[in-house]
Structure 1
Amino acid sequence: MVDAATRLNERIATRVRELRTAAGLSLDALAGKCGVSRSMISLIERGESSATAVVLDKLATGLGVMLADLFNAPAVPHPVARRSEQPEWTDPGSGYTRRNVSPPGTSNPVQIVEVHFPPGATVAFETGPRDARVYQQIWLLEGAMEVAFGADRHQLSAGDCLAMQLDRPTVFHNPTREPARYAVVIASLPISLR
């Protein structure tokens, strides 16, 4: 019997391969574009590696999509995403769990993700050049978080909301002994609309 985590890793493998092929990129070209080694991309595409959120974010950026797009299977657009159909993924590096809440396959430039962040965990994203201007808001629902956005540092408590454009390295850290839960609302605009 195949568990949910294995199915999601297979979906990620398929999505990365499909998106790379659709973009006309070789493994070497994608590696050069996103800073992930050719061998790691090959392992991910074969479903032989459980890549971290940081690696998957680099791949998504190199492929010109949002991180959430790597978890969604291609779907017929539908305005409702049932809870049972929303993919959930746990980062093997930090243990944080993210759930894509938004319906996949729609042409809406807004995506919503729910994150459960373990006590003491840290994730650092290197934001590279993107094919779109990406905005993100973090709405902390439970717990506390520290978010470093470039040189800016923000302490968030339950109910706080942080807005930022993803154009600098970002570090998420839960400094407490309790888990944190937050919603991420992401909006992207093509560079031509800047």
Structure 2
Amino acid sequence: MTDKNSPPQIGPRIQDIRKQKGFTLEQLASHSGVSRSMLSQIERGQANPTFATLWSLTQALGLEISDLTGGVAEVHHQAIEVMMPNFTPEIKSEDGLCDLKILSPTDQVGRVEWYEISIEAGGKLVSEPHTNGSMEHLTAFNGRFQVVSGKAKTEVPTGGTARYASDVSHTISNPGQETARGILVVVS
């Protein structure tokens, strides 16, 4: 039995659905554009998929992202949707020092995405270029961040906001001694 406050086990759920639909790893990788090795790591719970990766997998499997949670992810009260904390998708860096909670709705993927970002002291989030013309907006709530976008580099102190191109290789790191937290908005 799973604790109702723990995050859903998305990887094993993807594997179950893939097998139910009769897909091999290679077939799902081909249909989704997600590499076979990444898909295997996700299914074993060794990698946390990005929102874009989840989107590609759900489209290839003919699912909604909420189908992967194995339960009701949203509570509806008239015209207000509430995403429960334990159903908020989360991305962790390989070293475990960076954490992104995906706060944006699925219908905004590829246009506007926003994340709660947390990077422990010494942590670094390295990103490949996003789509042409993409911009990121990082606001530091506490601690401080360092941003490198292409050849430009700056520090973002508590309360500050950095706006920078994300259609080039870019990095967000924490040069401070405390965990840095903020909001990251990606506009494509």
- Give TM-score scaled by structure 2 length: 0.65
Deviations 1:24-77 (A, max 9, x none): x852475xx66x4x2332342xx214225xxx4596399499xxxxxx536789
1:41 matched to 2:71? The reply is no
Q: CA deviation at 1:170?
A: 1.0
- Give TM-score scaled by structure 1 length: 0.63
Bigger Cα Rg: 2
CA contact (8 A) 2:135 2:187 kept: yes
Partner of 1:112: 114
CA-atom RMSD in angstroms: 3.8
> Percent same amino acid at aligned positions?
19
Q: CA deviation at 1:90?
A: 5.1
CA contact (8 A) 1:8 1:89 kept: no
CA contact (8 A) 1:115 1:183 kept: yes
Change (3 A) 1:90 1:166: closer
Measured in 1, the distance between the counterparts of 2:140 and 2:57 equals: 27
CA contact (8 A) 2:146 2:172 kept: yes
Matched letter for residue 121 of structure 2: P
Find 1:99's aligned residue among 97, 101, 109: 101
Matched letter for residue 27 of structure 1: A
Partner of 1:51: 47
Change (3 A) 1:28 1:116: same
Measured in 1, the distance between the counterparts of 2:91 and 2:29 equals: 25
Deviations 1:151-178 (A, max 9, x none): 1111110111111232111111111110
Matched letter for residue 114 of structure 2: I
SS of alignment partner, residue 93 of structure 1: coil
Q: CA deviation at 1:125?
A: 1.2
Measured in 1, the distance between the counterparts of 2:54 and 2:165 equals: 14
CA contact (8 A) 1:136 1:186 kept: yes
Measured in 2, the distance between the counterparts of 1:181 and 1:5 equals: 20
Partner of 1:89: 90
SS of alignment partner, residue 81 of structure 1: strand
Aligned length: 162
Partner of 1:173: 173
CA contact (8 A) 1:81 1:101 kept: no
Measured in 2, the distance between the counterparts of 1:144 and 1:82 equals: 28
SS of alignment partner, residue 73 of structure 1: helix
Measured in 2, the distance between the counterparts of 1:136 and 1:48 equals: 31
CA contact (8 A) 1:147 1:173 kept: yes
CA contact (8 A) 2:93 2:99 kept: no
Q: CA deviation at 1:88?
A: 4.8
For 1:113-192, list aligned pairs within 5 A.
113-127=115-129, 130=131, 133-188=133-188
CA contact (8 A) 1:148 1:170 kept: yes
Matched letter for residue 122 of structure 2: G
